[in-house]
């Protein structure tokens, strides 16, 4: 196959775009897709301070690299979740994130859940008998927003890709979880005190493409799946969508952008009308109840002994 731009040997085919690209024009394509998403959805403004949630995986590292090449000044934050022990999954991911930041002279802050909040994700999952992904998601959402707000950042940037967002939408639609559907937007404004605007610039980029980007750019990333995602519904839904995408390229993008372009505003309006945010008496972060879910979890974990 030949690159659609320069006719040199192609490095990757993107079937939903009916396109093949050589290495350099694939990089150009990735940057254009991210730049278009940022511009069209007004995600960021010049001079705003950006904080990126970094996991050590392909999505966050590819996005950090692309945003830096586009001229944005982006700091990173990594959350040490304590998964896999001293030399396990979390430790390996942290090393890769730190090496990436060091190689590019970028700022990376590390938040250790055990040191700063008194628990790890495996400990909390065992104590509460909740699915590990649920505990992990709650912890990440809280800590990322807290670090961004306390650090005076204007925008919290997330590395969720097309596959992630399509699978999340499918999951919430199958159960008609209107609350979550109403929050699934590429730009979540800071609707209350203590919140920071959250954006997802990889909305037009598939998981396979961030992996190819890292490989072709020589970016080392964590290739192993988190050992605690076994049986995760989101993983199964991704697999189902992959079957559809293989048979009909563009299905994921049509599904996600059909929702965003046609009905997401209606779900968001319903969600906003139902939300009554107040200040958590413990941490000051916004919550819909008397005490935020993160503080309830932290108190339970610190009192377990």
Q: Where are the extended beta strands (E) located within 56-208?
A: 74-80, 108-112, 155-157, 187-188, 197-199
The reported pLDDT for the residue numbered 273 is: 55
- For residue range 96-141, list pLDDT tens digits in order: 999 999 999 999 999 999 999 999 999 999 999 888 888 999 999 9
The reported pLDDT for the residue numbered 289 is: 85
The reported pLDDT for the residue numbered 272 is: 62
φ/ψ region of 105 (left if φ > 0, alpha if ψ in -120 to 50, else beta) reads: left
pTM: 0.93
Positive or negative, the Cα torsion across 82, 87, 93, 98? positive
Count other C-beta atoms under 10 Å from residue 246's C-beta. 10
CB of 131 closer than 8 Å to CB of 125: yes
The reported pLDDT for the residue numbered 69 is: 96
Percent of the chain scoring above 90 in pLDDT: 77
Cα dihedral: 114, 283, 226, 241 (round 10): 180
SS (H, E, C) 199-228: ECCCCCCCHHHHHHHHHHHCCCCCCCCCCC
CATH superfamily to which 23-224+231-302 belongs: HUPs (3.40.50.620)
- For residue range 159-169, list pLDDT tens digits in order: 999 999 999 99
- For residue range 134-155, list pLDDT tens digits in order: 899 999 999 999 999 999 999 9
The reported pLDDT for the residue numbered 193 is: 83
Q: Looking at the DSSP assignment, which residues form a beta bridge with residue 111?
A: 79
CB of 264 closer than 8 Å to CB of 120: no
Coil/strand/helix, residue 304: coil
The reported pLDDT for the residue numbered 271 is: 60
> How large is the average pLDDT for residues 224-249?
89
| Separation of first and last alpha carbons in the chain | 62
* Res. 292: pLDDT tops 60: yes
- For residue range 208-222, list pLDDT tens digits in order: 999 999 999 999 999
Task: Label residue 231 by pLDDT band (50, 70, 90).
Answer: low
For the chain, the average pLDDT equals 93
């Amino acid at each position: 196959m030949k690159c659609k731009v320069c006719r040199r040997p192609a490095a990757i085919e993107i079937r939903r775009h009916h396109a093949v690209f050589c290495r350099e024009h694939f990089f150009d394509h990735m940057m254009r897709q991210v730049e278009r998403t940022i511009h069209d959805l007004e995600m960021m403004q010049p001079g705003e301070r950006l904080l990126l949630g970094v996991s050590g995986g392909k999505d966050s590292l590819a996005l950090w690299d692309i945003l830096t090449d586009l001229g944005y000044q982006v700091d990173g934050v990594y959350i040490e979740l304590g998964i896999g022990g001293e030399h396990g999954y979390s430790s390996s991911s942290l090393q890769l994130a730190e090496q990436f930041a060091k190689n590019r002279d970028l700022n990376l802050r590390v938040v250790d859940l055990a040191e700063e909040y008194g628990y790890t994700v495996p400990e909390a999952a065992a104590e509460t008998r909740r699915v590990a992904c649920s505990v992990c998601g709650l912890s990440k959402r809280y800590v990322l927003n807290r670090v961004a707000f306390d650090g005076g950042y204007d925008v919290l940037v997330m590395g969720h890709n097309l596959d992630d967002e399509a699978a999340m939408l499918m999951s919430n639609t199958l159960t008609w979880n209107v609350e979550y559907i109403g929050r699934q937007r590429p730009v979540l404004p800071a609707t209350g005190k203590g919140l920071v605007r959250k954006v997802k610039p990889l909305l037009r980029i598939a998981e396979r493409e961030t992996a190819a980007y890292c490989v072709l750019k020589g970016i080392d990333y964590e290739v192993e799946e988190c050992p605690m995602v076994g049986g995760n519904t989101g993983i199964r839904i991704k697999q189902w969508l992959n079957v559809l995408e293989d048979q009909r390229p563009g299905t994921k993008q049509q599904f996600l952008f059909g929702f965003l372009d046609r009905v997401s505003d209606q779900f968001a309006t319903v969600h906003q009308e139902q939300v009554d945010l107040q200040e958590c008496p413990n941490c000051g972060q916004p919550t819909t109840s008397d005490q935020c879910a993160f503080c309830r979890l932290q108190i339970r974990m610190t009192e377990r002994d």
